[in-house]
């Protein structure tokens, strides 16, 4: 059994910065230290407020995902995880 240490991922920008509350918008998150080791359970997921979605790993600085549906029009924090437990803290 192996345990993997990695640097804390960082989100530097989101493109686009907004979309319709019905969800389904394609977005790209860029930053640093992004991982994709499915065999070790390290796969990207995004959290929009309290709603989580799977992401597609592009490379170590980019991931893509679709926005979830929201029942309100507002800003929400967007965070990433690569192990399902520890989230970025970009706010």
Band of pLDDT at residue 6, cut at 50, 70 and 90: confident
Query: What's the predicted TM-score (pTM) here?
Result: 0.86
Phi, psi dihedral angles at 40 (to 5 degrees): -105, 10
Domain ranges in the chain are 1-6+25-91
Order of strands, sheet of 51-54, starting from the edge strand that comes earlier in the sequence: 51-54, 45-48, 78-81
1-6+25-91 is a CATH 2.60.40 domain: yes
pLDDT of residue 68: 96
Q: Flag whether pLDDT at 5 surpasses 90.
A: no
The encoded tokens of residue 47 equal: 């959290």
pLDDT tens-digit map of 30-87: 999 998 888 777 889 999 999 999 999 999 999 999 999 998 878 899 999 998 889 9
């Amino acid at each position: 059994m192996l345990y993997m240490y990695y640097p804390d991922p960082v989100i530097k920008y989101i493109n686009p910065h907004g979309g319709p509350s019905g969800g389904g918008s394609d977005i790209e998150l860029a930053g640093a230290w992004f991982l994709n080791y499915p065999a070790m359970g390290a796969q990207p997921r995004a959290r929009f407020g309290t709603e989580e979605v799977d992401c597609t790993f592009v490379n170590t600085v980019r991931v893509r995902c679709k926005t979830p549906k929201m029942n309100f029009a507002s800003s929400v924090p967007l965070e990433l995880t690569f192990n399902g437990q520890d989230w970025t803290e970009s706010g």
